[in-house]
């Protein structure tokens, strides 16, 4: 077994690069995985690079949190994993002194936990282990990185209380927003109003099941949405992180409806004018996935993929070699067109 591995590390000043660090150790209830792919999370990754992600203050850090790994070694008490299994959401675990973890999946090796074996022995695994699920061996391991986003989105829909037959307006059609469109459609929601400033993304939203697609550049959002859905929508969702949409959302929801915020903005405040909203409404933030719920919806996402109703590869626009992954962040900084980028090892 190799003693060292390559990892993508971000410094306090925002510079980054690939360095060599020790392969992480694994315990008796854990397995070592060779990372196969890792999705780029445009919002979270860039905020960490720029030092603006709440809760991550110590640098340098190993970045990455949307990985797929293949088991290459197992601990003595592992019973639900075997060599060759592919597993979602491995994390780096232990890092060498002076280097910290921002989950750490942009690295050649990571660790997963056998939560079932721990429970068998009367132990309580950490919550993240409940979302470290296996994927079928015939799934494309690169496209499979997108399953993590799909699970995060579907579990968030449950937290927000999305229901079949209810209407939804979504702002922002990156991989997350488009995932909300497709999963809302599969859940039986409608009408679905999808909004963005990119006509190509609006066309994709239409393919995924949106009933109305609106280019919001220069648009009066409340007036236009209310033309599409007279009386207002049940849910107004910010999927990208635009604080001003809270005000627009307040103006387009019906009484007793909800404005939902999932996208994380660099700006953490917004003026609110509730002169045009209903007397009764709810504002709910959910910006950090709950791994227990994410793991609980794994089987449903896999079933929809098996049934041909959901295609993770639809959302993947770029495959970036690990050795060149700095290009991914250059593309984001340059605002190049993309959907989900996946780093390939």
The pLDDT assigned to 225 comes to 99
CA distance 72 to 92: 15
Mean pLDDT of the chain: 96
Domain 153-285 class, CATH top level: alpha beta
Superfamily of 4-134+311-344 according to CATH: Medium-chain alcohol dehydrogenases, catalytic domain (3.90.180.10)
Residue 257 pLDDT > 90: yes
Residue 200 pLDDT > 80: yes
| DSSP E strand stretches across the chain | 4-10, 16-22, 30-39, 61-62, 67-74, 86-88, 100-101, 109-113, 168-171, 192-196, 212-215, 233-238, 253-261, 281-285, 316-321, 340-344
Q: What is the pLDDT of residues 329-345, one digit of tens each?
A: 999 999 999 999 999 99
Residue 327 pLDDT > 80: yes
The pLDDT assigned to 269 comes to 80
* Pair of tokens at residue 316: 């993947």
The pLDDT assigned to 276 comes to 82
Strand partners, 110: 33
Q: What is the pLDDT of residues 131-154, one digit of tens each?
A: 999 999 999 999 999 999 999 999
Per the model's pLDDT, the better-predicted residue between 94 and 134 turns out to be: 134
DSSP 191-260: -EEEEES-HHHHHHHHHHT-SEEEE-TT--HHHHHHHHSTT-EEEEEESS--TTHHHHHHHHEEEEEEEE
Q: What is the pTM of this model?
A: 0.95
Cis peptide before 344 (omega within 30 of 0): no
The pLDDT assigned to 2 comes to 81
Rg (CA), the chain: 21
The pLDDT assigned to 129 comes to 97
Phi first, then psi, for residue 85 (nearest 5°) are -65, 145
Count the helices and strands in the chain (H runs, E runs): 10, 16
Domain spans in the chain, listed from the N-terminal domain onward = 4-134+311-344, 153-285
pLDDT confidence tier of residue 90, bands split at 50, 70 and 90: very high
Burial of 63 (0-12, 13-18, 19+ CB in 10 A): buried
Residue 264: DSSP 8-state: P
Percentage of residues in the chain having pLDDT higher than 90: 92
Distances (CA, A) of 265 to 50, 53, 54, 151, 239: 13, 10, 11, 21, 10
Q: What is the pLDDT of residues 216-240, one digit of tens each?
A: 999 999 999 999 999 999 999 999 9
The pLDDT assigned to 339 comes to 97
């Amino acid at each position: 077994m190799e003693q060292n591995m390559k990892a993508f590390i971000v410094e306090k000043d925002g510079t980054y690069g690939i360095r060599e660090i020790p392969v992480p150790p694994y315990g008796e209830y854990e397995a070592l995985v060779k990372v196969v792919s890792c999705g780029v999370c445009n919002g979270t990754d860039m905020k960490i690079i720029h030092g603006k992600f709440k809760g991550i203050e110590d640098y340098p850090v190993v970045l990455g949190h949307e990985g797929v790994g293949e088991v290459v070694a197992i601990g003595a008490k592992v019973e639900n994993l075997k060599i060759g299994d592919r597993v979602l959401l491995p994390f780096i675990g232990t890092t060498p002194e002076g280097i910290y973890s921002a989950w750490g999946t942009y690295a050649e090796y990571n660790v997963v936990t056998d939560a079932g074996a721990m429970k068998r022995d009367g132990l309580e695994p950490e919550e993240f282990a409940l979302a470290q699920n296996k994927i079928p061996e015939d799934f494309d391991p690169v496209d499979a990185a997108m399953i993590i986003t799909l699970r995060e989105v579907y579990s968030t829909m449950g937290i927000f209380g999305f229901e079949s037959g209810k209407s939804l307006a979504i702002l922002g059609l990156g991989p997350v927003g488009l995932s909300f469109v497709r999963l809302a459609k599969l859940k039986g929601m409608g009408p679905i109003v999808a909004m963005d400033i990119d006509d190509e993304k609006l066309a994709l939203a239409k393919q995924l099941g949106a009933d109305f697609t609106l280019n919001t550049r220069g648009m009066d959002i409340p007036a236009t949405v209310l033309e599409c859905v007279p009386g207002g929508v049940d849910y107004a969702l910010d999927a990208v992180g635009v604080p001003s949409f809270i005000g627009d959302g307040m103006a387009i929801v019906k009484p007793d409806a909800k404005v939902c915020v999932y996208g994380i903005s660099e700006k953490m405040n917004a003026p609110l004018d509730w002169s045009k909203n209903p007397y009764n409404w709810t504002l709910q933030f959910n910006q950090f996935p709950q791994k227990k719920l994410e793991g609980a919806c794994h089987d449903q996402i896999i079933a929809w993929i098996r049934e041909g109703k959901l295609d993770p590869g639809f959302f993947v626009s770029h495959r970036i070699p690990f050795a060149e992954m700095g290009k991914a962040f250059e593309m984001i900084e340059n605002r190049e067109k993309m959907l989900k980028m996946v780093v390939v090892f």
